[in-house]
């Protein structure tokens, strides 16, 4: 662990919301000792149609032995998120403030949206949804790139109490179909396509495939609303549909397949829609959204977040963790399809009336300094990205960074996986010129918002440590037997009590919610991550301790990849483990036992990689596929992944093999290991 401590720049301390560790400790203590007082004070900044019932402000049970797990904040209160984020800003005279600067894949494509316009568009689209029969509680799936219609669609759902389920637009048609089916969505919202660097993704075609698959399962959505995005791009390359190479000018794309009974264009629907829509007042615990995350059994988990608690937690973490002040311009590079995008592109910033940059493209297009160009173009003060992006950018000459000024930056955020010291130092010194605070934010789709993080104006930073808990969060480290590890040590990272923004259940499966998160250690929420606490009390999240992989910040389970591999007719069995990767953090290393025991060739490897890409998404493509005539198994048939991990890591000694049914397997696997 790096011992050097980096203190916040006095300029940042001076303006910050929390400017000393004493203040942080005091606020944290109050938030734990009296959560009701702490959060009800914060809740005053929001509009409540009806107030919460005082003695029911916060109730929960984390202990499965005492009954069902539940978490409730602000019972009795009713509100509407879009009203709080938009109407309030407009009513208080900030209607002309920019909510989003939109920066397209191509630098020639950009636009902006004020709070007033965002409210109007949100209301219009809420009316469109109503016209399609959507009412409170109905599920709406959104499969879109980072374009302005995405936050509009999400906020329109919140306007009328519909539950959005955003599916990251890098997921395959299979993954999309699975999520549509699981949530029984009525409407799907998408775009014709999107450019990512020089690659064109035809999203509507992927939706068509998904909807075909859904139909085969006897389910049908009622309507698919399509944004005609490619057509409006300024850059001629963007306007081309790329498939048959014809420019479409102002006409709609000819080769977007269309089902007249089901598909409608967004712009046609919006044309006559009313720009106002009275908000539906929702109960504090009414569902807000579902967001799927990988589960260790392979089947994705639809995490459910609710209204009031999520809203106040998103805004509060945003304000403190990025030390947001009016006039700042904030830029988060995440895709809205992930929790980081939900909380820190949409709900958190808008909840604070902030101005954000929404970026559609990739860090390397048209050149390797795209992020830094955007920072200078919009005078960004807070920049938030993932370690995998930092690692891939630091491989290039520093000149790509230093030829831009970056002088407006104050806070640099990191999220998605542990950030290694080298990447932290590069971020701090080269991007931040040694004067910015780094917020290494630990959180999960489950936690809704930041739970362990430094605060820019007070926390002395240690490279690679997410440092201390946010307000309302009480972490513990537990050993195998569930005993609390006091002081310096290592263990399972768990939380002892809920904070307002954490998930409430798995959609339609409360049993699985309890068994996945609350069975292992009674009375605690178990994150699935391991962590260390050093002598100064700093927390260092070390990574997943379950069968999960984190590839470039995308979480997936070994089981889901193994299931896809094993479906191939030439595969008898598959085992997947994670291997360290310099840019992606981790990558997939797969062991394959061919059905006939021997046929393992290049063709099979290509087919398997393609299959994983198609079934899960491009980000899940395995890096290594190794021939495994047999897998190391215990006598009871359990695959010993710990040995496979060592083989994948290039080690010769896999440890104790005496529990194996056949010890010779290891020698064979070591011999067959490809040179990578």
Residues that bind ligand 6R9 (CB under 6 A): 293, 338-340, 415-418, 440-445, 466, 527-529, 541, 543-544, 550, 553, 555
Decide: helix, strand or coil at residue 92.
helix
Which is closer to ligand 6R9, CB of 233 or CB of 390? 390
Which is closer to ligand 6R9, CB of 400 or CB of 470? 470
Nearest CA-CA partner of 430 in 459, 466, 395: 395
Q: Shortest gap between Cβ of 417 and ligand 6R9 (angstroms)?
A: 5
> Cβ neighbours of residue 107 under 8 Å, at least 6 residues apart?
366, 370, 373
Which is closer to ligand 6R9, CB of 82 or CB of 439? 439
Rounded to whole angstroms, what are the CA distances from 101 to 93, 345, 411? 19, 12, 19
| H-run or E-run covering 135 | none
Decide: helix, strand or coil at residue 518.
coil
Which is closer to ligand 6R9, CB of 241 or CB of 388? 388
Q: Shortest gap between Cβ of 251 and ligand 6R9 (angstroms)?
A: 39
Q: Where are the beta strands (DSSP E) in 403-533?
A: 411-414, 437-440, 475-478, 489-495, 505-506, 525-533
Q: Shortest gap between Cβ of 340 and ligand 6R9 (angstroms)?
A: 5
Q: Is 181 exposed, middle or buried (0-12, 13-18, 19+ CB in 10 A)?
A: middle
| H-run or E-run covering 195 | strand 194-196
Q: Shortest gap between Cβ of 451 and ligand 6R9 (angstroms)?
A: 10
Q: Shortest gap between Cβ of 465 and ligand 6R9 (angstroms)?
A: 9
Which is closer to ligand 6R9, CB of 104 or CB of 418? 418
Nearest CA-CA partner of 444 in 404, 423, 473: 473
How do strand 70-73 and strand 58-61 relate by DSSP bridges? antiparallel
Round to whole Å and give the CA distance between 284 and 263.
34
Which is closer to ligand 6R9, CB of 440 or CB of 562? 440
Q: Is 244 exposed, middle or buried (0-12, 13-18, 19+ CB in 10 A)?
A: exposed
Q: Shortest gap between Cβ of 487 and ligand 6R9 (angstroms)?
A: 21
Q: Shortest gap between Cβ of 674 and ligand 6R9 (angstroms)?
A: 28
Rounded to whole angstroms, what are the CA distances from 338 to 40, 47, 132, 334, 491? 28, 27, 26, 7, 27
Nearest CA-CA partner of 60 in 474, 347, 482: 474
Which is closer to ligand 6R9, CB of 300 or CB of 457? 300
Round to whole Å and give the CA distance between 177 and 179.
5
Secondary structure letter of residue 343 according to DSSP: I
Which is closer to ligand 6R9, CB of 376 or CB of 546? 546
Taking residue 276's Cβ as centre, other Cβ atoms within 10 Å add up to 11
Q: Shortest gap between Cβ of 520 and ligand 6R9 (angstroms)?
A: 14
Which is closer to ligand 6R9, CB of 293 or CB of 307? 293
Rounded to whole angstroms, what are the CA distances from 437 to 331, 391, 433, 604? 15, 18, 10, 48
Q: Number of C-alpha atoms within 13 angstroms, CB side, residue 133?
A: 7
Q: Shortest gap between Cβ of 172 and ligand 6R9 (angstroms)?
A: 18
Q: Shortest gap between Cβ of 502 and ligand 6R9 (angstroms)?
A: 12
Which is closer to ligand 6R9, CB of 263 or CB of 440? 440
End-to-end CA separation in angstroms for the chain: 29
Round to whole Å and give the CA distance between 496 and 473.
8
Round to whole Å and give the CA distance between 510 and 192.
36
Q: Residues 250, 54: contact at Cβ < 8 Å?
A: no
Residue nearest ligand 6R9 by beta-carbon distance: 445
Which is closer to ligand 6R9, CB of 475 or CB of 553? 553
Q: Shortest gap between Cβ of 447 and ligand 6R9 (angstroms)?
A: 8
Return the exposure string of 37-60: e unless at least 16 CB atoms fall within 10 Å of the residue's CB, then b.
ebbbebbeebebeeebeeeebbee
Which is closer to ligand 6R9, CB of 194 or CB of 541? 541
Q: Shortest gap between Cβ of 243 and ligand 6R9 (angstroms)?
A: 32
């Amino acid at each position: 662990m790096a011992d050097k401590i980096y203190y916040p720049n006095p300029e940042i301390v001076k303006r910050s919301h929390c400017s000393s560790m004493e203040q942080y400790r005091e606020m944290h203590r109050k938030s734990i000792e009296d959560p009701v007082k702490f959060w009800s004070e914060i809740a005053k900044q929001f509009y409540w149609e009806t107030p919460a019932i005082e003695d029911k402000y916060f109730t929960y049970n984390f202990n499965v032995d005492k009954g069902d797990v539940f978490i409730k904040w602000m019972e009795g209160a009713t509100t509407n998120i879009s009203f709080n984020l938009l109407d309030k800003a407009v009513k208080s005279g900030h209607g002309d403030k920019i909510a989003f600067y939109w920066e397209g894949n191509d630098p020639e494509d950009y636009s902006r949206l004020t709070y007033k316009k965002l409210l109007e568009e949100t209301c219009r689209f809420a009316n469109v949804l109503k016209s399609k029969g959507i009412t409170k509680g109905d599920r709406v799936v959104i499969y879109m790139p980072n374009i302005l219609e995405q936050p509009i669609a999400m906020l329109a759902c919140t306007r009328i109490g519909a539950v959005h389920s955003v599916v990251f637009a890098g997921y395959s048609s299979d993954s999309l179909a699975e999520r549509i089916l699981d949530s029984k969505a009525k409407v799907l919202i998408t775009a014709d396509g999107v450019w990512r660097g020089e690659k064109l993704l035809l999203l509507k075609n992927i939706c068509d495939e998904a909807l075909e698959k859904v139909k085969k399962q006897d389910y049908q959505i009622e309507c698919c609303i399509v944004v005609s995005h490619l057509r409006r791009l300024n850059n001629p390359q963007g306007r081309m549909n790329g498939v048959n190479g014809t420019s479409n000018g102002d006409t709609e794309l000819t080769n977007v397949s269309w089902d007249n009974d089901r598909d409608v264009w967004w712009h046609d629907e919006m044309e006559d829609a009313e720009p106002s829509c009275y908000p539906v007042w929702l109960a504090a615990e009414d569902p807000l959204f579902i967001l799927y995350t990988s589960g260790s059994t392979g089947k994705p988990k639809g995490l459910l977040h609710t209204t009031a608690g999520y809203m106040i937690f998103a805004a509060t973490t945003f304000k403190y963790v990025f030390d947001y002040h009016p006039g700042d311009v904030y830029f988060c590079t995440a895709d809205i399809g992930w929790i980081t995008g939900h909380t820190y592109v949409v709900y958190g910033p808008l909840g604070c009336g902030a101005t954000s940059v929404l970026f559609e493209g990739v860090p390397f297009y048209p050149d390797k300094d795209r992020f830094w160009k955007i920072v200078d173009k919009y005078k960004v003060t807070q920049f938030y990205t993932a370690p995998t992006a930092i690692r891939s950018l630091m491989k290039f000459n520093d000149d790509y960074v230093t030829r831009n000024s970056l002088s407006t930056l104050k806070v640099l955020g990191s999220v998605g996986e542990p950030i290694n010291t080298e990447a932290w130092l590069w971020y701090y010194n080269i991007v931040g010129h040694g004067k910015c605070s780094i917020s290494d934010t630990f959180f999960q789709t489950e936690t809704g918002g930041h739970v362990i993080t430094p605060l820019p104006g007070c926390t002395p930073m240690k490279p690679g440590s997410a440092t201390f808990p946010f307000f309302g969060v009480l972490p513990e480290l537990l050993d195998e037997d569930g005993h609390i590890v006091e002081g310096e040590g290592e263990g399972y990272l768990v939380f002892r009590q809920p904070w307002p923004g954490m998930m409430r259940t798995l959609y339609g499966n409360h049993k699985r919610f309890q068994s996945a998160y609350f069975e292992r250690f009674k009375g605690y929420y178990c994150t699935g991550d391991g962590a260390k606490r050093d002598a100064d009390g700093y927390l260092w999240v070390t990574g997943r301790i379950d069968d999960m992989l984190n590839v470039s910040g995308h979480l997936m389970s070994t089981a889901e990849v193994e299931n896809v591999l094993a479906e191939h007719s030439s595969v008898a069995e598959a085992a997947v483990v994670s291997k360290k990767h310099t840019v992606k953090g981790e990558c997939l290393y797969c062991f394959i036992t061919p059905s006939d025991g021997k046929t393992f060739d290049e063709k099979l490897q290509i087919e398997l990689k393609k299959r994983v890409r198609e079934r899960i998404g491009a980000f899940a493509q395995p890096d290594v596929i190794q021939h495994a005539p047999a897998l190391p198994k215990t006598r009871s048939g359990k695959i010993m992944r710990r040995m496979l991990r060592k083989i994948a890591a290039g080690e010769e000694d896999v440890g104790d093999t005496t529990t194996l049914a056949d010890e010779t397997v290891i020698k064979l696997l070591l011999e067959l290991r490809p040179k990578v």
